[in-house]
Structure 1
Amino acid sequence: MEKPFSNKMKPIGGYLELQFLSGQEYYPHLTRLNNGRNALEYILKVKKYTMAYIPYFICGVILEPLKKLRIPYEFYTIDDKLDPILDFIVGPTECFLYTNYFGLKQDTVLSLSRQYQNLIIDNSQAFFSNPLDKIDTFYSCRKFFGVPDGAYLHTPSPTKLKYEKDHSFNRISHLTKSIDLGIESGYQDFLDNNKALSNQPILKMSNLTQKILQGIDYKECKYRRDSNFMYLHDFLVKYNDFTFDVSSINGALGYPFVHSSSLIRAKLLEKRIYIPIYWPNVFDWTTKKMYENYLSAHLMCLPIDHRYTHTDMKRMINVLKKLL
Protein backbone atom coordinates (compact mmCIF):
# COMPACT_ATOMS: atom_id res chain seq x y z
CA MET A 1 0.00 0.00 0.00
CA GLU A 2 1.28 3.42 -0.95
CA LYS A 3 2.34 5.46 2.07
CA PRO A 4 0.87 8.92 2.64
CA PHE A 5 3.02 11.92 1.81
CA SER A 6 5.63 12.17 4.55
CA ASN A 7 6.35 15.91 4.51
CA LYS A 8 4.88 17.40 7.71
CA MET A 9 4.44 20.87 6.20
CA LYS A 10 0.74 21.67 5.63
CA PRO A 11 -0.07 21.76 1.89
CA ILE A 12 -1.81 24.76 0.34
CA GLY A 13 -4.00 24.34 -2.75
CA GLY A 14 -4.77 21.20 -4.72
CA TYR A 15 -8.16 19.52 -4.99
CA LEU A 16 -10.86 20.02 -2.35
CA GLU A 17 -11.16 17.28 0.23
CA LEU A 18 -14.22 15.82 1.97
CA GLN A 19 -15.57 18.29 4.47
CA PHE A 20 -16.63 17.26 7.96
CA LEU A 21 -18.33 19.11 10.78
CA SER A 22 -15.85 20.20 13.41
CA GLY A 23 -16.86 19.18 16.91
CA GLN A 24 -15.84 16.94 19.76
CA GLU A 25 -15.89 13.18 20.13
CA TYR A 26 -18.09 11.62 22.80
CA TYR A 27 -15.03 10.19 24.57
CA PRO A 28 -12.22 12.64 23.75
CA HIS A 29 -10.08 11.54 26.70
CA LEU A 30 -10.16 7.79 26.08
CA THR A 31 -7.51 5.89 24.15
CA ARG A 32 -8.39 5.69 20.45
CA LEU A 33 -7.75 2.35 18.73
CA ASN A 34 -8.65 0.70 15.45
CA ASN A 35 -11.26 -1.83 16.65
CA GLY A 36 -12.86 -3.34 19.73
CA ARG A 37 -11.13 -6.70 19.70
CA ASN A 38 -7.77 -4.93 19.64
CA ALA A 39 -8.85 -2.85 22.62
CA LEU A 40 -9.37 -6.15 24.43
CA GLU A 41 -5.96 -7.34 23.24
CA TYR A 42 -4.44 -4.14 24.64
CA ILE A 43 -5.96 -4.87 28.07
CA LEU A 44 -4.82 -8.49 28.03
CA LYS A 45 -1.27 -7.48 27.12
CA VAL A 46 -1.01 -4.75 29.73
CA LYS A 47 -2.54 -6.79 32.55
CA LYS A 48 -0.74 -10.01 31.55
CA TYR A 49 -3.76 -12.17 32.33
CA THR A 50 -3.23 -15.94 32.20
CA MET A 51 -6.88 -16.98 31.85
CA ALA A 52 -10.18 -15.43 30.73
CA TYR A 53 -13.82 -16.17 31.50
CA ILE A 54 -16.11 -15.13 28.64
CA PRO A 55 -19.85 -15.56 28.03
CA TYR A 56 -21.21 -18.07 25.53
CA PHE A 57 -23.43 -15.27 24.27
CA ILE A 58 -20.88 -13.04 22.58
CA CYS A 59 -19.48 -12.33 19.11
CA GLY A 60 -16.97 -14.93 17.94
CA VAL A 61 -14.34 -12.30 17.09
CA ILE A 62 -13.74 -11.91 20.83
CA LEU A 63 -11.65 -15.09 20.66
CA GLU A 64 -9.22 -13.51 18.20
CA PRO A 65 -7.02 -11.68 20.76
CA LEU A 66 -7.18 -14.63 23.18
CA LYS A 67 -5.94 -17.03 20.53
CA LYS A 68 -3.34 -14.54 19.29
CA LEU A 69 -1.90 -14.20 22.80
CA ARG A 70 -2.42 -17.91 23.55
CA ILE A 71 -4.50 -17.16 26.62
CA PRO A 72 -6.78 -20.05 27.64
CA TYR A 73 -10.44 -19.26 28.21
CA GLU A 74 -13.59 -20.79 29.64
CA PHE A 75 -17.19 -19.99 28.79
CA TYR A 76 -19.83 -19.10 31.35
CA THR A 77 -23.62 -19.00 31.03
CA ILE A 78 -26.14 -16.19 31.50
CA ASP A 79 -29.70 -16.25 32.81
CA ASP A 80 -32.90 -14.94 31.22
CA LYS A 81 -32.05 -11.42 32.44
CA LEU A 82 -28.69 -11.61 30.61
CA ASP A 83 -26.90 -11.62 33.96
CA PRO A 84 -23.90 -13.94 34.44
CA ILE A 85 -24.37 -17.16 36.38
CA LEU A 86 -21.44 -16.85 38.77
CA ASP A 87 -20.52 -20.50 39.31
CA PHE A 88 -16.79 -19.93 38.84
CA ILE A 89 -13.94 -18.30 40.76
CA VAL A 90 -11.70 -15.69 39.10
CA GLY A 91 -8.08 -16.15 40.15
CA PRO A 92 -5.67 -13.24 40.82
CA THR A 93 -4.10 -13.50 37.35
CA GLU A 94 -7.38 -14.23 35.55
CA CYS A 95 -10.01 -11.91 34.09
CA PHE A 96 -13.77 -11.90 33.78
CA LEU A 97 -15.31 -10.37 30.63
CA TYR A 98 -18.92 -9.21 30.71
CA THR A 99 -20.92 -7.63 27.88
CA ASN A 100 -23.26 -4.73 28.61
CA TYR A 101 -25.95 -6.27 26.41
CA PHE A 102 -27.79 -3.76 24.24
CA GLY A 103 -26.73 -1.03 26.66
CA LEU A 104 -29.36 -2.23 29.15
CA LYS A 105 -27.13 -3.88 31.76
CA GLN A 106 -25.38 -0.97 33.46
CA ASP A 107 -26.80 -1.96 36.85
CA THR A 108 -25.22 -5.39 36.42
CA VAL A 109 -21.95 -3.73 35.44
CA LEU A 110 -22.04 -1.67 38.64
CA SER A 111 -22.79 -4.75 40.74
CA LEU A 112 -19.99 -6.79 39.16
CA SER A 113 -17.52 -3.92 39.61
CA ARG A 114 -18.00 -4.20 43.37
CA GLN A 115 -17.28 -7.93 43.32
CA TYR A 116 -14.40 -8.35 40.87
CA GLN A 117 -11.09 -6.53 40.50
CA ASN A 118 -10.15 -8.23 37.23
CA LEU A 119 -13.37 -7.25 35.44
CA ILE A 120 -13.38 -6.22 31.77
CA ILE A 121 -16.52 -4.58 30.40
CA ASP A 122 -17.40 -4.96 26.75
CA ASN A 123 -19.41 -1.83 25.93
CA SER A 124 -19.50 -2.48 22.20
CA GLN A 125 -23.32 -2.57 22.53
CA ALA A 126 -23.42 0.29 25.04
CA PHE A 127 -21.70 3.30 23.50
CA PHE A 128 -23.46 5.82 25.74
CA SER A 129 -22.69 3.99 29.01
CA ASN A 130 -19.76 5.82 30.60
CA PRO A 131 -16.85 3.71 31.86
CA LEU A 132 -16.32 3.16 35.57
CA ASP A 133 -13.12 4.69 36.95
CA LYS A 134 -11.23 1.53 37.88
CA ILE A 135 -12.73 -0.91 35.38
CA ASP A 136 -11.19 -1.76 32.01
CA THR A 137 -13.80 -0.93 29.38
CA PHE A 138 -13.85 -0.86 25.58
CA TYR A 139 -16.24 0.43 22.89
CA SER A 140 -16.77 -0.31 19.20
CA CYS A 141 -17.73 2.81 17.24
CA ARG A 142 -19.07 1.18 14.08
CA LYS A 143 -21.87 -0.56 16.00
CA PHE A 144 -23.44 2.87 16.52
CA PHE A 145 -22.19 5.22 13.78
CA GLY A 146 -21.29 5.26 10.11
CA VAL A 147 -17.55 4.72 10.47
CA PRO A 148 -15.38 2.01 8.89
CA ASP A 149 -13.70 1.03 12.18
CA GLY A 150 -12.60 2.58 15.46
CA ALA A 151 -12.74 1.85 19.17
CA TYR A 152 -12.28 3.60 22.49
CA LEU A 153 -10.49 2.13 25.45
CA HIS A 154 -10.65 3.08 29.11
CA THR A 155 -8.03 1.47 31.31
CA PRO A 156 -6.72 2.54 34.73
CA SER A 157 -3.39 0.83 34.03
CA PRO A 158 -0.40 3.23 33.99
CA THR A 159 1.32 1.03 31.38
CA LYS A 160 1.07 2.44 27.86
CA LEU A 161 1.69 0.50 24.65
CA LYS A 162 3.18 2.14 21.57
CA TYR A 163 1.59 1.53 18.17
CA GLU A 164 1.26 3.05 14.70
CA LYS A 165 -1.79 4.86 13.25
CA ASP A 166 -4.35 3.02 11.15
CA HIS A 167 -5.62 4.13 7.71
CA SER A 168 -9.29 3.67 6.79
CA PHE A 169 -9.60 5.10 3.27
CA ASN A 170 -9.76 1.62 1.74
CA ARG A 171 -12.51 0.42 4.11
CA ILE A 172 -15.19 3.05 3.54
CA SER A 173 -16.78 1.94 0.25
CA HIS A 174 -19.86 0.41 1.94
CA LEU A 175 -20.59 3.78 3.56
CA THR A 176 -20.23 5.84 0.38
CA LYS A 177 -22.13 3.31 -1.77
CA SER A 178 -25.06 3.42 0.63
CA ILE A 179 -25.42 7.16 0.01
CA ASP A 180 -25.45 6.96 -3.78
CA LEU A 181 -26.90 3.50 -4.44
CA GLY A 182 -28.77 2.43 -1.30
CA ILE A 183 -27.89 0.34 1.74
CA GLU A 184 -28.19 -3.02 -0.06
CA SER A 185 -25.60 -2.05 -2.69
CA GLY A 186 -22.89 -1.70 -0.05
CA TYR A 187 -23.65 -4.91 1.84
CA GLN A 188 -20.96 -7.04 0.19
CA ASP A 189 -18.43 -4.27 0.79
CA PHE A 190 -19.58 -4.24 4.42
CA LEU A 191 -18.90 -7.98 4.69
CA ASP A 192 -15.51 -7.52 3.01
CA ASN A 193 -14.69 -4.78 5.49
CA ASN A 194 -15.53 -7.11 8.37
CA LYS A 195 -13.07 -9.64 6.99
CA ALA A 196 -10.41 -6.96 6.52
CA LEU A 197 -10.62 -6.09 10.21
CA SER A 198 -9.68 -9.62 11.24
CA ASN A 199 -6.23 -10.23 12.70
CA GLN A 200 -5.22 -6.58 12.49
CA PRO A 201 -2.42 -5.38 14.78
CA ILE A 202 -3.21 -2.89 17.51
CA LEU A 203 -3.22 0.53 15.83
CA LYS A 204 -4.31 4.05 16.67
CA MET A 205 -7.69 5.14 15.32
CA SER A 206 -7.36 6.50 11.79
CA ASN A 207 -7.62 10.23 11.05
CA LEU A 208 -10.66 9.55 8.85
CA THR A 209 -12.59 7.71 11.54
CA GLN A 210 -11.72 10.33 14.15
CA LYS A 211 -12.84 13.15 11.81
CA ILE A 212 -16.22 11.49 11.29
CA LEU A 213 -16.65 10.94 15.03
CA GLN A 214 -15.88 14.60 15.72
CA GLY A 215 -18.80 15.67 13.53
CA ILE A 216 -21.58 13.60 15.09
CA ASP A 217 -24.45 15.15 17.03
CA TYR A 218 -24.34 12.67 19.91
CA LYS A 219 -27.16 14.29 21.86
CA GLU A 220 -29.53 13.91 18.92
CA CYS A 221 -28.36 10.34 18.21
CA LYS A 222 -29.00 9.28 21.79
CA TYR A 223 -32.37 11.03 21.94
CA ARG A 224 -33.51 9.36 18.73
CA ARG A 225 -32.50 5.91 19.97
CA ASP A 226 -34.31 6.37 23.29
CA SER A 227 -37.43 7.77 21.64
CA ASN A 228 -37.63 4.99 19.05
CA PHE A 229 -36.95 2.37 21.73
CA MET A 230 -39.90 3.53 23.81
CA TYR A 231 -42.17 3.76 20.76
CA LEU A 232 -41.54 0.09 19.99
CA HIS A 233 -41.70 -0.93 23.62
CA ASP A 234 -45.17 0.53 24.13
CA PHE A 235 -46.52 -1.95 21.57
CA LEU A 236 -44.16 -4.92 21.94
CA VAL A 237 -43.86 -5.20 25.72
CA LYS A 238 -46.85 -7.57 25.94
CA TYR A 239 -45.36 -9.86 23.28
CA ASN A 240 -41.73 -9.73 24.38
CA ASP A 241 -40.37 -12.83 26.15
CA PHE A 242 -37.42 -10.76 27.37
CA THR A 243 -38.20 -8.46 30.29
CA PHE A 244 -36.02 -5.55 31.38
CA ASP A 245 -36.10 -2.31 33.33
CA VAL A 246 -37.20 0.41 30.90
CA SER A 247 -35.67 3.10 33.13
CA SER A 248 -32.24 1.69 32.26
CA ILE A 249 -32.31 2.64 28.57
CA ASN A 250 -29.43 4.90 27.62
CA GLY A 251 -28.98 5.14 23.87
CA ALA A 252 -29.51 1.38 23.45
CA LEU A 253 -28.03 -0.53 20.54
CA GLY A 254 -31.48 -1.71 19.46
CA TYR A 255 -34.75 -2.98 20.84
CA PRO A 256 -34.18 -6.58 22.00
CA PHE A 257 -37.30 -8.54 21.09
CA VAL A 258 -37.47 -12.23 21.97
CA HIS A 259 -40.29 -14.36 20.58
CA SER A 260 -40.76 -18.09 20.07
CA SER A 261 -41.79 -17.69 16.42
CA SER A 262 -39.09 -18.60 13.90
CA LEU A 263 -40.83 -16.76 11.05
CA ILE A 264 -40.55 -13.15 12.16
CA ARG A 265 -36.99 -12.46 11.00
CA ALA A 266 -37.71 -13.77 7.48
CA LYS A 267 -40.94 -11.78 7.21
CA LEU A 268 -39.18 -8.59 8.25
CA LEU A 269 -36.49 -9.26 5.64
CA GLU A 270 -39.18 -9.46 2.96
CA LYS A 271 -40.17 -5.91 3.91
CA ARG A 272 -36.54 -4.68 3.73
CA ILE A 273 -36.20 -4.59 7.50
CA TYR A 274 -32.82 -6.11 8.29
CA ILE A 275 -32.23 -7.80 11.63
CA PRO A 276 -28.76 -9.17 12.54
CA ILE A 277 -28.27 -12.52 14.28
CA TYR A 278 -26.51 -12.24 17.64
CA TRP A 279 -24.48 -14.36 17.08
CA PRO A 280 -24.14 -17.28 14.57
CA ASN A 281 -21.04 -18.60 16.38
CA VAL A 282 -23.17 -19.26 19.49
CA PHE A 283 -24.86 -22.15 17.67
CA ASP A 284 -21.44 -23.84 17.38
CA TRP A 285 -20.55 -23.23 21.03
CA THR A 286 -23.82 -24.35 22.62
CA THR A 287 -26.43 -27.11 22.55
CA LYS A 288 -30.10 -26.58 21.75
CA LYS A 289 -30.93 -27.04 25.43
CA MET A 290 -28.96 -23.93 26.39
CA TYR A 291 -30.57 -20.51 26.79
CA GLU A 292 -27.84 -18.83 24.75
CA ASN A 293 -28.71 -21.07 21.79
CA TYR A 294 -32.37 -20.07 22.08
CA LEU A 295 -31.43 -16.39 22.26
CA SER A 296 -29.36 -16.53 19.08
CA ALA A 297 -32.28 -18.11 17.26
CA HIS A 298 -35.10 -15.98 18.66
CA LEU A 299 -33.68 -12.63 19.80
CA MET A 300 -34.21 -9.85 17.26
CA CYS A 301 -32.41 -6.55 17.76
CA LEU A 302 -34.87 -4.19 16.08
CA PRO A 303 -33.20 -1.09 14.57
CA ILE A 304 -33.89 2.16 16.44
CA ASP A 305 -30.90 4.33 15.54
CA HIS A 306 -30.63 7.98 14.54
CA ARG A 307 -31.59 7.31 10.91
CA TYR A 308 -35.17 6.53 11.88
CA THR A 309 -38.27 8.31 13.14
CA HIS A 310 -41.53 7.12 14.71
CA THR A 311 -42.88 6.71 11.19
CA ASP A 312 -40.28 4.02 10.56
CA MET A 313 -41.07 2.40 13.91
CA LYS A 314 -44.77 2.35 13.00
CA ARG A 315 -43.95 0.63 9.72
CA MET A 316 -42.08 -2.06 11.65
CA ILE A 317 -44.93 -2.47 14.10
CA ASN A 318 -47.45 -2.84 11.26
CA VAL A 319 -45.44 -5.77 9.91
CA LEU A 320 -45.12 -7.36 13.36
CA LYS A 321 -48.86 -6.99 14.08
CA LYS A 322 -49.62 -9.57 11.41
CA LEU A 323 -47.17 -12.07 12.93
CA LEU A 324 -47.80 -11.85 16.66
Structure 2
Amino acid sequence: MTVLQMLDIASDDARSADLFIYGHTLDPRGLYMLSTVGTSAAQRWEIGQVENNVKDLRKPDSCTAIEVGIEFLPSALGTWIANFEGKPRIAIDISCMPRPTMAAVFQAILEAGDRKMVRLDVLYVLAEYTPPPGQLPPNEDICPINDWFAGWPTNATASTSLVVGLGYERDKASGACEYFDASETWVFVPQSSILDYQSTVEANNDVLLARALRRDLAATYHVERPTETFGLLASKVSQIASKMNPVLLPFGPKIFFALCLLVASVYREAGVWHVTGDSDLPDVPHVASAHTPAFRVELGPIERE
Protein backbone atom coordinates (compact mmCIF):
# COMPACT_ATOMS: atom_id res chain seq x y z
CA MET A 1 0.00 0.00 0.00
CA THR A 2 1.19 3.51 -0.74
CA VAL A 3 -0.22 6.99 -0.17
CA LEU A 4 -0.85 8.25 -3.69
CA GLN A 5 -2.20 11.68 -2.79
CA MET A 6 -3.18 13.67 0.28
CA LEU A 7 -4.85 17.05 0.64
CA ASP A 8 -6.92 19.08 3.06
CA ILE A 9 -10.60 19.30 2.19
CA ALA A 10 -13.74 20.97 3.48
CA SER A 11 -15.96 18.57 5.38
CA ASP A 12 -18.73 19.12 2.79
CA ASP A 13 -16.42 17.60 0.18
CA ALA A 14 -17.08 14.22 1.83
CA ARG A 15 -20.77 14.29 0.93
CA SER A 16 -22.06 11.44 -1.21
CA ALA A 17 -19.48 8.98 0.09
CA ASP A 18 -20.18 5.34 -0.57
CA LEU A 19 -19.74 4.56 3.14
CA PHE A 20 -19.81 6.86 6.17
CA ILE A 21 -18.35 5.42 9.40
CA TYR A 22 -18.74 6.91 12.87
CA GLY A 23 -18.39 5.70 16.44
CA HIS A 24 -21.27 5.06 18.82
CA THR A 25 -21.52 8.02 21.17
CA LEU A 26 -23.97 10.11 23.18
CA ASP A 27 -21.80 13.20 22.73
CA PRO A 28 -23.55 15.77 20.47
CA ARG A 29 -20.20 16.56 18.84
CA GLY A 30 -19.92 12.93 17.72
CA LEU A 31 -23.20 13.18 15.80
CA TYR A 32 -22.54 16.52 14.12
CA MET A 33 -20.91 15.07 11.01
CA LEU A 34 -23.57 12.39 10.79
CA SER A 35 -26.29 15.01 10.48
CA THR A 36 -24.38 17.39 8.19
CA VAL A 37 -22.39 15.02 5.95
CA GLY A 38 -23.31 11.42 6.72
CA THR A 39 -26.95 11.66 5.67
CA SER A 40 -25.89 11.97 2.04
CA ALA A 41 -23.76 8.80 2.09
CA ALA A 42 -25.01 5.70 0.34
CA GLN A 43 -24.50 3.66 3.51
CA ARG A 44 -23.73 4.42 7.16
CA TRP A 45 -22.03 2.24 9.76
CA GLU A 46 -22.09 2.95 13.47
CA ILE A 47 -19.28 1.16 15.28
CA GLY A 48 -19.97 0.04 18.83
CA GLN A 49 -19.91 -2.77 21.36
CA VAL A 50 -22.67 -5.07 20.10
CA GLU A 51 -22.94 -8.82 20.55
CA ASN A 52 -24.16 -9.57 17.04
CA ASN A 53 -22.17 -9.05 13.87
CA VAL A 54 -24.34 -6.30 12.37
CA LYS A 55 -27.87 -5.06 12.87
CA ASP A 56 -30.09 -2.33 11.50
CA LEU A 57 -30.16 0.84 13.52
CA ARG A 58 -32.42 3.87 13.30
CA LYS A 59 -31.21 7.08 14.84
CA PRO A 60 -33.64 9.54 16.45
CA ASP A 61 -33.31 11.78 13.40
CA SER A 62 -34.52 8.90 11.19
CA CYS A 63 -31.08 8.48 9.67
CA THR A 64 -30.76 4.76 9.05
CA ALA A 65 -27.47 3.03 9.74
CA ILE A 66 -25.98 -0.40 10.25
CA GLU A 67 -24.50 -1.08 13.66
CA VAL A 68 -21.27 -3.07 13.47
CA GLY A 69 -19.63 -4.67 16.48
CA ILE A 70 -16.02 -3.59 16.95
CA GLU A 71 -14.80 -7.19 17.01
CA PHE A 72 -16.40 -7.81 13.58
CA LEU A 73 -15.28 -4.52 12.03
CA PRO A 74 -12.00 -5.58 10.33
CA SER A 75 -13.53 -8.53 8.49
CA ALA A 76 -16.78 -6.72 7.67
CA LEU A 77 -14.99 -3.66 6.29
CA GLY A 78 -12.42 -5.71 4.41
CA THR A 79 -15.18 -7.73 2.75
CA TRP A 80 -17.20 -4.61 1.91
CA ILE A 81 -14.20 -2.98 0.20
CA ALA A 82 -13.25 -6.16 -1.66
CA ASN A 83 -16.79 -6.59 -3.03
CA PHE A 84 -17.24 -2.93 -4.00
CA GLU A 85 -17.15 -2.33 -7.74
CA GLY A 86 -14.66 0.38 -8.59
CA LYS A 87 -12.86 2.67 -6.13
CA PRO A 88 -14.78 2.97 -2.85
CA ARG A 89 -15.17 6.42 -1.30
CA ILE A 90 -15.13 6.09 2.48
CA ALA A 91 -15.65 8.90 4.98
CA ILE A 92 -14.87 8.44 8.66
CA ASP A 93 -15.78 10.79 11.49
CA ILE A 94 -13.15 10.39 14.21
CA SER A 95 -14.38 13.18 16.50
CA CYS A 96 -15.62 10.86 19.26
CA MET A 97 -14.27 7.54 18.04
CA PRO A 98 -12.23 5.55 20.60
CA ARG A 99 -8.60 5.15 19.57
CA PRO A 100 -8.68 1.32 19.38
CA THR A 101 -11.74 1.53 17.11
CA MET A 102 -10.02 4.10 14.91
CA ALA A 103 -6.96 1.86 14.62
CA ALA A 104 -9.15 -1.10 13.57
CA VAL A 105 -10.88 1.01 10.89
CA PHE A 106 -7.59 2.34 9.54
CA GLN A 107 -6.03 -1.12 9.53
CA ALA A 108 -8.86 -2.57 7.44
CA ILE A 109 -8.74 0.31 4.95
CA LEU A 110 -4.94 0.31 4.70
CA GLU A 111 -4.85 -3.45 4.16
CA ALA A 112 -7.48 -3.08 1.43
CA GLY A 113 -5.23 -0.45 -0.16
CA ASP A 114 -2.72 -3.24 -0.84
CA ARG A 115 -5.19 -4.71 -3.32
CA LYS A 116 -7.21 -1.85 -4.83
CA MET A 117 -7.57 1.93 -4.94
CA VAL A 118 -9.43 3.44 -1.97
CA ARG A 119 -10.35 7.06 -1.26
CA LEU A 120 -10.54 7.93 2.42
CA ASP A 121 -11.91 11.20 3.84
CA VAL A 122 -11.12 11.75 7.53
CA LEU A 123 -13.40 14.23 9.30
CA TYR A 124 -12.95 15.89 12.67
CA VAL A 125 -14.95 18.44 14.66
CA LEU A 126 -13.13 20.62 17.17
CA ALA A 127 -15.04 21.01 20.43
CA GLU A 128 -15.63 24.31 22.10
CA TYR A 129 -13.33 24.64 25.09
CA THR A 130 -14.18 22.79 28.27
CA PRO A 131 -11.81 22.57 31.24
CA PRO A 132 -9.85 19.32 31.56
CA PRO A 133 -11.24 16.73 33.99
CA GLY A 134 -10.17 17.25 37.59
CA GLN A 135 -9.70 13.53 38.19
CA LEU A 136 -8.13 11.13 35.73
CA PRO A 137 -8.08 7.35 35.64
CA PRO A 138 -4.61 5.93 36.27
CA ASN A 139 -2.30 4.93 33.42
CA GLU A 140 -3.10 1.21 33.62
CA ASP A 141 -0.77 -0.04 30.92
CA ILE A 142 1.16 1.25 27.92
CA CYS A 143 1.12 -0.88 24.79
CA PRO A 144 0.77 -0.72 20.99
CA ILE A 145 -2.71 0.27 19.89
CA ASN A 146 -2.91 -3.11 18.12
CA ASP A 147 -0.56 -5.68 16.60
CA TRP A 148 -0.67 -4.16 13.11
CA PHE A 149 0.56 -0.79 14.39
CA ALA A 150 3.09 -2.27 16.84
CA GLY A 151 6.06 -1.23 14.71
CA TRP A 152 8.66 -3.38 13.00
CA PRO A 153 12.10 -1.97 13.83
CA THR A 154 14.92 -2.97 11.51
CA ASN A 155 17.33 -2.93 14.45
CA ALA A 156 15.76 -4.28 17.62
CA THR A 157 18.81 -3.27 19.69
CA ALA A 158 18.68 0.40 18.66
CA SER A 159 17.58 2.99 21.19
CA THR A 160 14.05 4.38 21.30
CA SER A 161 12.95 7.84 20.23
CA LEU A 162 9.53 8.93 21.49
CA VAL A 163 7.26 11.24 19.53
CA VAL A 164 4.60 12.48 21.94
CA GLY A 165 1.51 14.42 20.99
CA LEU A 166 0.50 16.53 23.98
CA GLY A 167 -3.05 16.55 25.34
CA TYR A 168 -4.50 18.93 27.88
CA GLU A 169 -4.91 16.46 30.77
CA ARG A 170 -2.40 17.27 33.49
CA ASP A 171 0.76 15.15 33.47
CA LYS A 172 -0.89 12.36 31.45
CA ALA A 173 1.83 12.45 28.81
CA SER A 174 4.74 12.84 31.23
CA GLY A 175 3.54 9.84 33.24
CA ALA A 176 3.45 7.73 30.09
CA CYS A 177 6.92 8.88 29.02
CA GLU A 178 8.39 7.54 32.24
CA TYR A 179 7.55 4.02 31.03
CA PHE A 180 10.09 4.26 28.21
CA ASP A 181 13.85 4.40 28.52
CA ALA A 182 13.96 6.70 25.51
CA SER A 183 17.13 8.35 24.29
CA GLU A 184 15.12 11.36 23.20
CA THR A 185 11.54 12.57 23.49
CA TRP A 186 10.02 14.82 20.85
CA VAL A 187 6.84 16.68 21.79
CA PHE A 188 4.23 17.96 19.36
CA VAL A 189 2.08 20.81 20.69
CA PRO A 190 -1.37 21.31 19.12
CA GLN A 191 -2.44 24.77 17.99
CA SER A 192 -5.96 25.56 16.79
CA SER A 193 -8.54 28.31 16.51
CA ILE A 194 -9.79 27.37 20.00
CA LEU A 195 -6.98 29.24 21.73
CA ASP A 196 -7.79 28.17 25.29
CA TYR A 197 -6.74 24.61 24.51
CA GLN A 198 -3.16 25.50 23.66
CA SER A 199 -2.61 27.51 26.83
CA THR A 200 -4.00 24.65 28.93
CA VAL A 201 -1.88 22.08 27.06
CA GLU A 202 1.25 24.10 27.75
CA ALA A 203 0.38 24.69 31.41
CA ASN A 204 -0.49 21.03 32.11
CA ASN A 205 2.65 19.71 30.41
CA ASP A 206 5.03 22.41 31.60
CA VAL A 207 7.84 20.16 32.83
CA LEU A 208 7.85 17.87 29.79
CA LEU A 209 7.58 20.80 27.39
CA ALA A 210 10.33 22.81 29.11
CA ARG A 211 12.70 19.85 28.89
CA ALA A 212 11.93 19.40 25.19
CA LEU A 213 12.42 23.10 24.46
CA ARG A 214 15.82 23.10 26.18
CA ARG A 215 16.90 20.23 23.93
CA ASP A 216 15.29 21.67 20.79
CA LEU A 217 12.94 18.67 20.61
CA ALA A 218 9.60 20.49 20.40
CA ALA A 219 7.35 21.30 17.45
CA THR A 220 3.99 23.03 17.09
CA TYR A 221 1.44 21.63 14.66
CA HIS A 222 -1.80 23.15 13.39
CA VAL A 223 -4.83 20.97 14.09
CA GLU A 224 -6.65 22.58 11.18
CA ARG A 225 -3.86 21.84 8.68
CA PRO A 226 -3.70 18.04 8.72
CA THR A 227 -1.74 17.60 5.47
CA GLU A 228 0.93 20.01 6.70
CA THR A 229 1.02 18.14 10.02
CA PHE A 230 1.36 14.82 8.22
CA GLY A 231 4.38 16.17 6.36
CA LEU A 232 5.96 17.48 9.55
CA LEU A 233 5.37 14.22 11.39
CA ALA A 234 6.49 12.00 8.50
CA SER A 235 9.68 14.02 8.09
CA LYS A 236 10.53 13.63 11.76
CA VAL A 237 9.80 9.89 11.79
CA SER A 238 11.91 9.43 8.66
CA GLN A 239 14.87 11.14 10.35
CA ILE A 240 14.46 9.10 13.52
CA ALA A 241 14.09 5.75 11.74
CA SER A 242 17.53 6.05 10.18
CA LYS A 243 19.21 5.82 13.60
CA MET A 244 16.66 4.88 16.29
CA ASN A 245 13.34 3.10 16.72
CA PRO A 246 10.43 5.59 16.64
CA VAL A 247 7.49 5.13 18.99
CA LEU A 248 4.49 7.44 18.50
CA LEU A 249 2.49 8.25 21.62
CA PRO A 250 -0.31 10.55 20.42
CA PHE A 251 -2.31 12.23 23.17
CA GLY A 252 -4.41 15.26 22.34
CA PRO A 253 -6.72 15.79 19.33
CA LYS A 254 -7.78 12.58 17.65
CA ILE A 255 -6.90 13.95 14.24
CA PHE A 256 -3.25 13.82 15.34
CA PHE A 257 -3.75 10.19 16.35
CA ALA A 258 -5.19 9.47 12.88
CA LEU A 259 -2.17 11.11 11.25
CA CYS A 260 0.15 8.98 13.41
CA LEU A 261 -1.62 5.85 12.14
CA LEU A 262 -1.13 6.99 8.58
CA VAL A 263 2.55 7.80 9.13
CA ALA A 264 3.08 4.40 10.76
CA SER A 265 1.55 2.74 7.69
CA VAL A 266 4.25 4.40 5.57
CA TYR A 267 7.13 3.92 8.00
CA ARG A 268 6.51 0.42 9.28
CA GLU A 269 9.38 0.75 11.77
CA ALA A 270 7.24 3.14 13.80
CA GLY A 271 4.82 1.86 16.42
CA VAL A 272 1.71 3.69 17.60
CA TRP A 273 1.19 3.21 21.32
CA HIS A 274 -1.50 4.27 23.75
CA VAL A 275 -2.30 4.24 27.42
CA THR A 276 -5.05 1.89 28.52
CA GLY A 277 -7.39 3.94 30.65
CA ASP A 278 -6.90 6.91 28.32
CA SER A 279 -10.13 5.99 26.51
CA ASP A 280 -12.00 5.90 29.82
CA LEU A 281 -11.97 9.61 30.52
CA PRO A 282 -15.25 11.04 31.87
CA ASP A 283 -17.90 11.16 29.13
CA VAL A 284 -18.63 14.88 29.28
CA PRO A 285 -20.80 16.26 26.46
CA HIS A 286 -18.95 18.67 24.18
CA VAL A 287 -20.35 21.41 21.98
CA ALA A 288 -19.24 21.20 18.36
CA SER A 289 -17.39 24.29 17.20
CA ALA A 290 -17.49 25.76 13.70
CA HIS A 291 -14.01 24.37 12.98
CA THR A 292 -14.07 21.08 11.08
CA PRO A 293 -10.64 20.12 9.70
CA ALA A 294 -10.64 17.23 7.26
CA PHE A 295 -8.28 15.56 4.83
CA ARG A 296 -8.50 13.18 1.90
CA VAL A 297 -5.99 10.44 1.19
CA GLU A 298 -5.86 8.25 -1.91
CA LEU A 299 -4.46 4.79 -1.22
CA GLY A 300 -3.43 2.09 -3.63
CA PRO A 301 -1.17 -0.87 -4.29
CA ILE A 302 2.56 -0.34 -4.70
CA GLU A 303 3.48 -0.65 -8.35
CA ARG A 304 6.05 -3.39 -8.90
CA GLU A 305 8.61 -3.21 -11.69
Relative to the length of structure 2, the TM-score reads: 0.29
- The structure richer in strand per residue is 2
Which has more radius of gyration?
Answer: 1
Normalised to the residue count of structure 1, the TM-score between the two structures is 0.27
